[in-house]
Amino acid sequence: MLQLIKKITSLLAGLALSACNYYVTPDDPRYAPVVPDVASRPSPQGGSLYSKGARLSLFEDVVAKQVGDIITVQLVESTQAKKDAKTDLTKNTTQTLGVAGTATTILGTTPQFDLPKILPLAQHKQLGNPLDAKGNPLTLVNINGQNQFKGEGDVSQNNQLNGSMTVTVSQILPNGNLVVRGEKWITLNQGSEYVRLTGTIRPQDIDPTNSILSTRIANARITYSGTGALAETNSLGWMSRFFMSPLWPF
C-alpha cells in the first residue's frame, strides 16, 4: 500500500511539473547572467599611464576569462540512436500424475481413484497411455501444456540542433575552467521559443573569435523548447500522459 501511495505521489508530481512547462518564463535565476563586482580603480601614480585595476591585452586574444564575461556558443548538436530487440520464448510441458499400484498424494491427501472412470479406456489407448496385463490404464492423469511468447521492438531517433547563442561566465573553478550559463528567447506571433544552456568549458577550447562549440562543453544542459499556442497543441494533456505512463495498469 505504501508503494502504491509513493507511485501515485510521484505521478502527481510529474504531472504538476509537466503542466508548469506551459508557463515557462524568461529570467530564470538558474540562467541569469552574473554581474561581477566592480572595484574602484586606483589612480595612476607618478603620471604613469598604467593603472593597476585596468585590463589591457596587447599581445593576446580578447576572450572570456573573468566572471561576467560573455562567450558565444555554436550549437552543433546531432544525435542518432537506433535499437532493435526481438524475443522468442517457447515452453512445452508434459506431466503424468499417478501410476497404478502407487499412492498419489494431492494437497497432502491420498484420494481414491477408480482408474477406468478417470478417462475412458478408448481415450487412454488414443493418448498412448500404458496399460497393464488386464488392459487397465496404468496412468491416472496426463497433463500437457505449451506456452509461447514472441515480442519485437524497433526504436529509431534522430535529433539535430544548429545555431548560436551567447552566454556569460558565472564561475571560475580552481583549475581554471569556466562555468557558463545563459538563455535566449525569441518571441513569435503565436508564442515564444527559447534556448537555455549551462556547462563547463576550458579556456583552451575558446577560439580567437571568443566562440566555442557546444560539443566542447562539459556537463552541458541544453534546452530548446517553446511556449504559447503552438507549443501547447503539440503536447499531450495530463490525462493522456497518465494513460500512457507505466503506472497505468492496463
> Could you tell me which residues come within 8 angstroms of residue 29 by beta carbon, excluding any fewer than 6 positions away?
none
Collapsed DSSP state (helix, strand, coil) of residue 133:
coil
Indicate the domain borders of the chain: 61-80+158-250, 88-151
Collapsed DSSP state (helix, strand, coil) of residue 215:
helix
Q: Whose CA is closest to 113, among 125, 101, 127, 124?
A: 101
Q: How far apart are CA 114 and CA 124, in angstroms?
A: 14
Q: How far apart are CA 166 and CA 74, in angstroms?
A: 9
Helix H or strand E segment including 233: helix 229-233
Residue 14 in contact with residue 8, Cβ under 8 Å?
no
Sheet holding 211-213, edge to edge: 211-213, 70-99, 139-172, 178-188, 191-201, 218-228
* pLDDT for residue 93: 73
pLDDT in tens, the chain (250 residues): 666 666 666 666 655 555 444 567 888 889 988 887 766 666 666 666 666 556 666 666 788 888 999 999 999 998 888 888 888 878 777 665 554 444 455 554 555 544 444 555 566 555 555 555 565 555 555 567 777 777 777 878 888 899 999 999 999 999 999 999 999 998 877 788 899 999 999 999 999 999 999 999 999 999 988 887 766 776 777 777 777 777 776 6
* pLDDT for residue 101: 45
> Could you tell me which residues come within 8 angstroms of residue 190 by beta carbon, excluding any fewer than 6 positions away?
228, 229, 230
Q: For residue range 76-92, what is the model confidence (pLDDT) as tens digits?
A: 998 888 888 888 878 77
Collapsed DSSP state (helix, strand, coil) of residue 246:
coil
pTM of the model: 0.57
CA 224 and chain centroid, separation: 16
Q: Is 180 exposed, middle or buried (0-12, 13-18, 19+ CB in 10 A)?
A: buried
Q: For residue range 109-151, what is the model confidence (pLDDT) as tens digits?
A: 555 544 444 555 566 555 555 555 565 555 555 567 777 777 7
Q: How far apart are CA 228 and CA 231, in angstroms?
A: 6
Q: How far apart are CA 214 and CA 222, in angstroms?
A: 9
* pLDDT for residue 92: 77
* pLDDT for residue 50: 60
* pLDDT for residue 96: 56
| Residue with the three cell numbers 555554436 | 74
> Could you tell me which residues come within 8 angstroms of residue 107 by beta carbon, excluding any fewer than 6 positions away?
none
C-alpha cell at 96: 503424468
